[in-house]
Structure 1
């Protein structure tokens, strides 16, 4: 096996291994009574609230697929909602295997089935992610406003600093800007190819400024994140103990889950543990908090697996003439 192949394999195995280890550690460190309580909470979860959470999840994914057209249309590409939706779901499924690979796959699928140049499709995805990141920061600000002292104390205890994420993003943007400046002056063959690719990427990213339906884009963005919070919030009614948790605590758990999901493949292992720790911090039992985390993570992951797998199957079938 070549060194390059080994590195790619390790990028998949290491995050997955961390997730599996955390699951094992969490369960093995619990007493038999605690494990029994955790399992009982999961078994007794009201399936109707889980189903409602899944409905909210599907609506958020549909809205994301619909919103995408507002970024593609300014560049002259009329794409089908079905293809956009299946590309989104296939991307989510890919992220379960290789973190952050879904964005590349999503752009590649639009190139394959809608003839949108990859660099332009990927540029729109970057703009989309930036809009989502702004929404996440707004929710962080709201959560801190509702539970300022307690949440900041929790961030300090867990060594979590959302400001680092913002600093990292600014640094990445600065590096990209410098890179574009260098490429812009390119005159050699290889750099000219990169320059052409970068031009398409920038065009895709700047499509957000050329939209005719800016308010529709903003409305869909707000709706997507409203559905994210709603699908998380309704799960609290599946655990009697957590059902009394105020919205501020649920929002704080949502934010912790959002940050933790990028640590391993799809948040496996980390997500329920992080949420359980948050609920413990606010005075709830570890078993109730982790049961909440497992139910929301398990149901939404199953949704992604089913819809993502169907998307991989149906995309070539529905586009066989392309």
Structure 2
């Protein structure tokens, strides 16, 4: 049994990474030698000013996310320092780069170590955040459909459909709540431990309903996603062939890119492929889409590794010397 569990854990790490490497190989392998030359020229000639500004937008979004987290934790009596909250958020991005969907767990562990917040309660608030972020992404999707309705519907007929993922998430949430109710009266020590853990998560999730600063939470939610879109848009200015792209196309590409980020480690391989496909669909050169996807994914991945790595170093080593 122990061997089986270790194998499953190993596969959860290896398979997404392998998929990302395969998609990267597929993406580069499909290019002609001339396209590779153009891609490299576009990357080298990208305006560093726009990329630098994208980093500013990125930092602002992460700071806002760290600050927004405080509003959900406060109803439970916890007030983490902004620096610790930011370090936990960046540690999560760092973890997701290497191990798919591990960031949320490590973020809860990080804030537990720095501010003594119980993991299950911290994790519950992170689930609450994800629900708010999912609603925000759906709102952006609606805006993209309105602005680019005909072309977007045609594209989604051939692209991955996010609806099954949303239905699966809802089903898992329902099953979890029902399971807690079934186990509510059990007195078995192991069941009691599971129940307490689950109730801690539920308390964290419900904390979003008890916030005193609802307006501030909503403002920061819009600000975070506004910064994401601004970061996405500003990088299009770094690619000459994409300058002047319409806002409707930007939102469409942004939504598809957001879903591609959740399929492999930080969108490894899939993100550049998706961006090339989207911009090509709207009549732009494939090489411009390739360049944008490479720059966007590459710069943000490097940023998350550096800042996230330093944050993880601070949380797990420097603070505990």
Aligned residue runs from structure 1 range 122-133, under 5 A: 122-133=123-134
Task: Tell me which residue corresponds to 1:108.
Answer: 109
Q: Secondary structure at the match of 1:266?
A: helix
Whether 1:99 and 2:76 are equivalent positions in the alignment is no
- Deviations along 1:129-163, whole A, 9 cap, x unmatched? 100000000001110111111101101012x2232
Q: TM-score, normalised by structure 1?
A: 0.96
What corresponds to 2:299 in structure 1? Answer: 299
Q: What's 1:183 paired with?
A: 183
User: How far is 1:320 from its partner?
Assistant: 4.0
2:110–2:316 contact (8 Å) kept in structure 1: no
Q: Which residue of 2 aligns with 1:280?
A: 280
Aligned to 2:43: 42
Q: Distance in 1 between matches of 2:183 and 2:61?
A: 37
Q: Aligned partners of 2:34, 2:299: CA distance in 1, in Å?
A: 25
Write out per-residue CA displacement over residues 166-200 of structure 1, whole angstroms, 9 at most, x where no aligned residue: 22222122212211211222222211111111121
Deviation at 1:89, TM superposition (A): 0.4
Contact 2:183 2:195 in 1 (8 A): yes
- Alpha-carbon distance in structure 2 between the residues aligned to 1:94 and 1:166: 23
SS in 2 for 1:116: coil
Mapped partners of 1:55, 1:247: distance in 2: 21
Q: Indicate the residue corresponding to 1:14 in structure 2.
A: 15
Q: State the secondary structure of the residue aligned to 1:241.
A: helix
Shift of residue 284, structure 1, vs aligned partner: 0.7
Distance 1:42 1:178 in 2: 51
**Structure 2 counterparts to residues 232-271 of structure 1, below 5 A:** 232-271=232-271
1:174 aligns with 2:181: no
1:53 aligns with 2:54: yes
1:48 shift after superposition: 0.3
Moved over 3 A (4+): 316-321
Could you say if the C-alpha distance between residues 294 and 269 of structure 1 is closer, same or farther in structure 2, counting changes exceeding 3 Å?
A: same
**Contact kept in structure 1, 2:23 and 2:270, CA below 8 Å:** yes
Q: What is the rounded CA distance, in whole Å, between the counterparts of 2:162 and 2:10 in structure 1?
A: 29
Query: What secondary structure sits across from 1:184 in the alignment?
Result: coil
Q: Which residue of 1 aligns with 2:222?
A: 222
- The count of residues paired between Structure 1 and Structure 2 equals 320
Higher deviation after alignment, 284-293 or 4-13: 4-13
Structure 2 length normalisation: TM-score?
Answer: 0.96
Give me the whole-angstrom Cα distance separating, in 2, the residues matched to 1:106 and 1:29. Answer: 37
C-alpha displacement of 1:78: 1.7
Match of 2:149 in 1: 148
Which structure 1 residue ranges, 5 or more long, are not aligned? none
| Partner secondary structure for residue 283 of structure 1 | coil
In structure 2, the residue matched to 1:76 is 77
